[in-house]
Amino acid sequence: MVGDGVVRGGGGAREESGNVAGGAVFPPSSVSYAYEWQRRRRWQQLRRRETWLVLVGIVLHAVYMLSIFDIYFKSPVVHGMDAVPQRISAPAKRLVLLVADGLRADKFFEPDSEGHFRAPFLRRIIREKGRWGISHARPPTESRPGHVSLIAGFYEDPSAITKGWKANPVEFDSVFNRSRHTFAFGSPGVVPIFCGNLPHATWGSYPPEFEDFASDASFLDQWSFDQFHDLLHRSHNDSKLKQLLMQERIVVFLHLLGCDTNGHAHRPHSTIYSNNVRVVDRIAQRVQSLFEDYFGDNQTSYIFTADHGISDKGSHGDGHPTNTNTPLVAWGAGIRTPSLLAHNNQSEYGLSSVHEHIHDMPTPAKWDLNDVERVDLNQADIAPLMATLIGSPCPVNSVGNLPLGFLNLNKREEAEATLSNTMQILNQFLRKSYVKQSSSLFFKPFKPLENYLSSLKQIEDLIFQSDYEAALRMSQDLRNLALAGLHYFQTYDWLMLMTTITLGYIGWILNLLIHILQSYTSLQKHVSIIVDANQWNTTKRVYLGACLLTGLYSSVFLLEKSPLLYHVYSATTIFLWAQIFSNIQFIATAWRGFSGKRYSTVVKLCCACFVALFILEFLVSSFSERKLYTWCFMTTGAVAGSFIFFWRRPSTGIFLCVACWFLSGFTLMPAEIPDNTGLVIASGAIIILIGMTGRLFEFYAKRDKLWSCIVGPSVEPYKKKLFWFQVIMVLLSSVMVWVSTSHRSQKRGLLLLHQIINWFLTGVSILLPLLSSSNLLPRLTSIFLGFAPPFLLLCIGYEAVFYSALSLVLLGWILVECITLNSTTITQVESVEEKFNLKDNERCLRLSDLRVPLIFMVLFNVAFFGTGNFASIASFEISSVYRFVTVFSPFFMAALLIFKLFIPFMLVICVFSSITKLIHVPRMGCYFLVILLSDIMTIHFFFLVQNTGSWMEIGNSISHFGIMSAQVVFVLFLFALTNIYTKDIKVMSFPLASLKAM
């Protein structure tokens, strides 16, 4: 159990040398047997305790990671409201919604390299028939949440991503639900979400295999259009279908996936992507011609937009403007005609319709649209726009504001339509208020809306008196208050939950600290805790009080009908603090021992804590400013290199300085990794050169006593040949990078033969290090060469060179630890007798050993920046997997991307494990130190989570907290994985042995 307060065998290590126990002299053999039995029993207890500790840590972090959704992002969906009917007649009989998935605004509006605009038909619509603007999406900018915003009018709960975007985590209302009938055709990942369980829907989707990144995906858009074209053609011979089409409140939804797929595969700057924009423009033109020829009544409204954009590197998901800015063009029945501007300014609608978006910029001159009025809106505002056009009630969970700048209405109709929009949002507020009040023991109402009835009556009176401007202003003010009220109830339990979770994290950190002090420091020798009857009674009282307190909290939560997770949050926090109070005797004894230390010891401890906190805050800041690592490694290289240079190791100092400066340049690189196949191939040559240099260093190091501990004795001949076989594997992988990329660039897809070779190189190369020498440096060199082929095959640019740069710095870390170990053993001969007292020649942790987990954390975080941008949830390039698979398979592709991320991490952890063996410290003790330090950062990120401000800030804050929360599992998994490669590493320790003999 975590920190059970028992430390057995406190003085066992000292009895071995004296052979005296309790005043009696025993034979050496019996003392040795008793000591060994006692040590083995202690380690069995330690293993059991650590197993529970790890399990508690995994559960705690998984639960607390979900807490931000209860604190900051509770689900916006609430059931039980009645739909609010429109107060005006429908301007249109039918609606066509065209969504070009992955179409970003600038690529739609700007001209191509030859000066031709990519969407001539829709530009003509903008200038002659309709309205245009920028629709601002919200992270996560993925297909499902984007379409939920468009069609249902609310921003989906971010926790829905944990349940999968393709299945409905919750049932919600939508424009399709409120239509008389919906016809929808498109992607199997989007259309079934809204139409799969809708009885009044006719829909179709193509097989998932159609989404092949190796081909031009614009045929997917053509498929959607052809399906609806065939449906209209069939209606001429199907009277029921024709009768259905001629009814009112009909919605046609065409999902056009081509731009998204081509953007992923070929990037938005490619010719294929530009041609796909022209394809969707022609489809919009053909759809209008088809409808006007078929119906001929000018009663159709058309809306063309996108669910999200796409970044320059072909990804989406975060809050970058390339992902959040999407085009919007509306025309047809009920839509205003264009307004020409005398000056480059925004209309009153354009300025008022966008809220909480600080990245609205003036229309770029190259769009050539400065003379046409632009109306921007939030993506969720499109749902009430569509509902108003066809005269259907707005989706009951919509939070969108009706964009009057798009609607061709008179003043009375504007006031009436806005009042309907306000009442629909107000209904949600009233429902949430009622649900919270009916279950809360101490209810606190939202005071600004206590007199909402009088406000509604006043608005009705103003409309009746034909004072439409005043009625419109009051409706908008009431709507804004209703939205504020919704936010109030979504964060109603904020203070209680924040306090509970914060205390839980602090309790977990203190438990880790107690466990480390009890198990891996000299306190296990010098502090002996006797578990007597009084201690047992104290423990029982602590747990009894914890159970009563948990029961009290659970009773309150049950009465308030709180979510089940509320019970888990409180119970976990109480359990952790009960563990701390059950160790109160150990804490008191340790404090007395610390109080008796010399002043210099206290100063050293305070300085160590200050340095650790400084480094942790540096790491927190680096999440938002990755260039900090450049200054960090440049400074470290200069300072550490100079120190070692003048400490009789000039070559090592120069090497360390060059390696750190080499690595420092990568955090200046663009986060969006550009394609550079030549650089990937060249990096293969660099990897081979580093491997050969490592082999030469091994021969040199055997003649140097300082380095001999990491090289070891000579190995079998076949293991020497293994090195050259690994070099050949790296060379073949570089060749396959060139062959696979060249073949795909010719639009010939991925050959099965190339795919088989790439998989073979990957599978064989990662197994070869297991056959290499067990000496430290040869094994790490083999691991470096073994993971190089799969990493090269998954690289597209400069990150391939980062692999070598990181490896050089890791080698520099090993050399520095060798020098530190040599210096320590020379100056601390008197402590050699007490050095080995744990297991497998491990010694107790000292304060100076804190440098190992701190350096590990810096290098572990740097590993993220070599393969993507830490600040983005969409930072990792999907085209990296195209040498293994091109047919769209999100989970398989994600697994390959994660494997690519794992490779630099595994290098760092392999070196970390090797260093713990080199300096003879317990690896698990260092692991718990890493988790302890990580959770200090987690608390910081917990308070940095935002639910206001720009969408980019909100998305990044969630990503940062989630990444740090996952490290307890992430690092543990990688520790277990790398243990396969490092468990049999041997370290020569003859310098210590010689000193002990002296």
pLDDT in tens, 312-355: 878 787 777 888 899 999 999 999 999 887 654 544 444 333 44
Tokens of 93: 């009989």
Q: pLDDT: is 391 or 668 the higher one?
A: 391
Kindly indicate the confidence band of residue 746, based on its pLDDT and cuts at 50, 70 and 90.
low
Higher pLDDT, 868 or 963: 963
The continuous run of DSSP H or E covering 256 comes out as strand 250-256
Q: What is the CATH code of the structural domain delimited by 95-343+355-409?
A: 3.40.720.10
Q: How many CA atoms, within 13 angstroms, populate the side-chain half-sphere of residue 762?
A: 20
Which phi and psi angles does 183 have, rounded to 5°? -110, 125
pLDDT tens digits, one per residue of 783-824: 999 999 999 988 888 888 999 999 999 999 998 888 888 776
Q: Give residue-wise pLDDT tens across range 381-417.
A: 999 999 999 999 999 999 999 999 999 999 999 999 9
Q: Is the pLDDT of residue 487 over 90?
A: no
pLDDT number for residue 106: 92
Most confident of 345-349, 486-490, 525-529: 486-490
Region 673-688: mean pLDDT is 86
Model confidence band, residue 677 (pLDDT cutoffs 50, 70, 90): confident
Distance CA 676, CA 674 (A): 6
User: Which residues, including other chains, have CB under 8 Å from residue 406's CB and lie 6 or more apart?
Assistant: 131, 133, 330, 335, 336, 375, 377, 385
pLDDT tens digit sequence for 93-122: 999 999 999 999 999 999 988 888 999 999
Q: Are 710 and 918 in contact (CB under 8 A)?
A: yes
Measure the N-to-C terminal CA separation of the chain; round to a whole number of Å. Answer: 42
Give the tens place of pLDDT for each residue, 584-639. Answer: 878 887 787 777 677 788 888 889 999 999 999 999 888 878 788 889 999 988 88
Mean of pLDDT over the chain: 82
pTM for this model (two decimals): 0.71
Is residue 948 scored above 80 in pLDDT?
A: no
Q: Give me the residue label for tokens 């047809």.
A: 332
ω before 140 within 30° of 0 (cis)?
yes
Distances (CA, A) of 410 to 84, 86, 385, 589: 21, 15, 16, 81
Could you write out the DSSP letters of every residue in 333-352?
TTBPPP-B-SSS---HHHHH
d(C-alpha 90, C-alpha 409), whole Å: 11
> Which runs of consecutive H residues, i.e. helices, occur in 179-300?
191-195, 218-235, 239-245, 258-266, 271-294
Least confident of 47-61, 326-340, 404-418, 753-767: 47-61
The tens digit of pLDDT for each residue in 140-182 reads 788 888 899 999 998 876 555 544 444 454 578 899 999 999 9
Can you give the pLDDT at residue 347?
45
- Around Cβ 665, how many Cβ atoms within 10 Å? 15
Among 35-39, 88-92, 830-834, 895-899, the least confident range: 830-834
Cβ-contact 81, 428 below 8 angstroms? yes
pLDDT at 246: 93
Question: Does 716 or 542 have the greater pLDDT score?
Answer: 542
Q: Is the pLDDT of residue 50 over 60?
A: yes
pLDDT in tens, 869-888: 444 444 455 667 778 876 76
Lowest mean pLDDT among 38-42, 337-341, 564-568: 38-42
Res 525: pLDDT? 59
Question: Does the structure show a pLDDT above 70 at 583?
Answer: yes
Structural domain boundaries in the chain = 95-343+355-409, 410-491, 612-826+846-921
Per-residue confidence (pLDDT) for residue 997, from 0 to 100: 36
Task: Provide the percentage of residues in the chain whose pLDDT is more than 90.
Answer: 40
Residues 839, 695: Cα–Cα separation, whole Å = 32
